[in-house]
Chains A and B, each alone.
Chain A
């Protein structure tokens, strides 16, 4: 167990480092440094920036240093919590992202919970009642969820809701609560607004998970230990719930790690279509404006969130599977 844990921690750290390098490379890809871009945009709006002012900006952000020093400085600042300044929003990146990072986590976690609560029972039902009409319906919707890009699901669902009820399903807070301090009423308001995005975001993942749960369970149901349990005189339902379901849950948990990047990806697209205040929406704005600190931070955080989530699912897996938990160190 200890060896497993240590291995996973080391792996997570390496992955987080790799993601930080990739983010750094991406924010440095655009031609010319961002100070030049900043000056150009300022010029366009009529603000004149003097050359020595520009030079001091370059100095401050270390743009005259070699690349690896720039990376080291950037990384150090991020680890200290200084994420840089967003030129687009004219505020520190931390302030811009702040709340929205929490919203993103809420949305992602909500989607994972939704996927679990919906996909596992449907997957079990589909496997136990293989080839029943219910199984066919589940399989059909599963494939549909798999084939439709997230933004299309979002667009169509939001349109249908708008068309039938006149309700524009956007944003995560009602106008009155957006800046209000946290209260039960605000949480309730947020929960109401989260439902549609969570469902949309979870659809593709649910489809994948139903398929995997079903396939795994079908495999497990043929295993000898099920026959043993049957020969003991358990009811079919007791057998299924106690043994194969337990087995099938393992891949479900490890699959969550696999789905997580797609959920984060989906949340970016979804936030754009539904105008949700997540880091995804800020990200697109930052990208179009070449606001590098903001977009770099978003790439970095979406990658890190995924890695932390994956690490969590690994621990969960170790907790439910004695074969990993009791592994000799």
Chain B
């Protein structure tokens, strides 16, 4: 984390522009993702942080176009740079098209929050991993099996051959998450989207999974889009951070600048709510005042203004701030930094 990875200067492998994903419910339209921009650079990790409901998971699912109904991507570009250097806008592919399905699980894999429910309990693990290989490689049955076993061994699952024939309910939570990583990695994806992969795990297992992901990244020169609400995890794994609040990006930049000099009042509030070595045990931990507004009840102006410490009346509740650069590295969307 101390040194800057080389990949950050390279062309981004994924570049999300003005992404808008809305949910068309009976009660009205929910703008779950409302104009999001960020880049993921090859071989590096982009962390997306935010509270539940800020749209970070929907953003991830939008990249693969697997947003469930009534959600729909209504606007934006998702530019993917292939290994050949050719750049395509994934949103030009139909969700069910062969092109898009070749990307899913092939070029871009995804792992999920709840390993226990993310596997089908009625099919053996081998059956489920073989599916990914069958779809994205031309290998013969035995070769696929050997490759899957090899990957299971690489993610640190003992007795991989035997495990291939077992059902998921025989695995522990940590093992299942490893197995899911193996399933995502076996097709050699260029990007791995990890949607809160450690949230459902205990702290020790969490650390092991993070180590595993970092090792996989180094061995395979792969970019990771890491989604979490946990700043501790971000500090361990991410090279860059994007902070989301109610479907919008409020701040983005390299991970050190984010922790050293958070710019947005929300980012600052987030960090003061983490206990640190220097907080005395008697001290009450500050929390962010108020609660996340209901998505249908979006506050006017800057959506964060009702909870903001630096609220400026007549400014923050009137116009929406734009994401602007405050230095070479950091971008922030706040009137404190905007020339008016």
State the A residues within 8 Å of B (CB).
222-225, 227-236, 242-243, 246-247, 320-323, 326
Least CB separation from B169: chain A residue: A323
Chain A residues, CB < 8 A from B114: 224
Asked whether B247 is an interface residue with its Cβ less than 8 Å from the other chain, the reply is no
Q: A223-B117, A225-B118, A230-B104 are in contact. List 12 more A-B contacts (CB 8 A).
A: A224-B112, A224-B117, A224-B118, A228-B180, A229-B131, A231-B109, A232-B183, A233-B135, A235-B96, A322-B124, A326-B167, A326-B170
Chain B residues, CB < 8 A from A234: 101, 131, 135
Least CB separation from A230: chain B residue: B66
The answer to whether B120 and A247 touch across the interface, beta carbons within 8 angstroms, is yes
The answer to whether A246 and B122 touch across the interface, beta carbons within 8 angstroms, is yes
What 1/0 flags go to B116-128 for Cβ under 8 Å of A?
Answer: 0111111110000
Bound CA–CA A326/B117 (angstroms): 19
Chain A interface mostly helix, strand, loop or mixed? helix
Q: How large is the interface on B (under 10, 10 to 19, 20 to 34, 35 or more residues)?
A: 20 to 34
Chain A residues, CB < 8 A from B61: 227
Cross-interface CB contact of B101 among A224, A228, A235, A243, cutoff 8 Å? A235
What are 8 A-B pairs with beta-carbon distances under 8 A?
A222-B68, A223-B117, A229-B120, A231-B64, A232-B183, A233-B102, A233-B106, A322-B121
In angstroms, how far is the closest chain B Cβ from the Cβ of A226? 9
**A246-B120 contact in complex given A224-B112, A232-B104, A326-B167, C-beta closer than 8 Å:** yes
What 1/0 flags go to B90-124 for Cβ under 8 Å of A?
Answer: 00000010000111111001101110011111111
The answer to whether A232 and B117 touch across the interface, beta carbons within 8 angstroms, is no
**A231-B66 contact in complex given A224-B114, A236-B96, A323-B169, C-beta closer than 8 Å:** yes
Cross-interface CB contact of A247 among B66, B68, B102, B122, cutoff 8 Å? B122
The answer to whether A228 and B112 touch across the interface, beta carbons within 8 angstroms, is yes
Question: What are the 3 A-B residue pairs with the smallest beta carbon separation, nearest first?
Answer: A233-B105, A233-B104, A232-B105
Among B105, B112, B120, residue most surrounded by chain A Cβ atoms (within 10 Å): B120
Least CB separation from B168: chain A residue: A225
Chain B residues, CB < 8 A from A243: 120, 122-123
Bound CA–CA A198/B121 (angstroms): 35
Asked whether B136 is an interface residue with its Cβ less than 8 Å from the other chain, the reply is yes
Asked whether B132 is an interface residue with its Cβ less than 8 Å from the other chain, the reply is yes
The answer to whether B122 and A231 touch across the interface, beta carbons within 8 angstroms, is no
In angstroms, how far is the closest chain A Cβ from the Cβ of B280? 41
The answer to whether B104 and A321 touch across the interface, beta carbons within 8 angstroms, is no
Chain A residues, CB < 8 A from B104: 230-233
The answer to whether B105 and A231 touch across the interface, beta carbons within 8 angstroms, is yes
Chain A residues, CB < 8 A from B167: 322-323, 326
The answer to whether A231 and B117 touch across the interface, beta carbons within 8 angstroms, is no
**A323-B121 contact in complex given A224-B112, A224-B114, A231-B66, C-beta closer than 8 Å:** yes
Within 8 A of A (CB), among B59-102: 61, 64, 66, 68, 96, 101-102
**A225-B117 contact in complex given A233-B104, A321-B122, C-beta closer than 8 Å:** yes
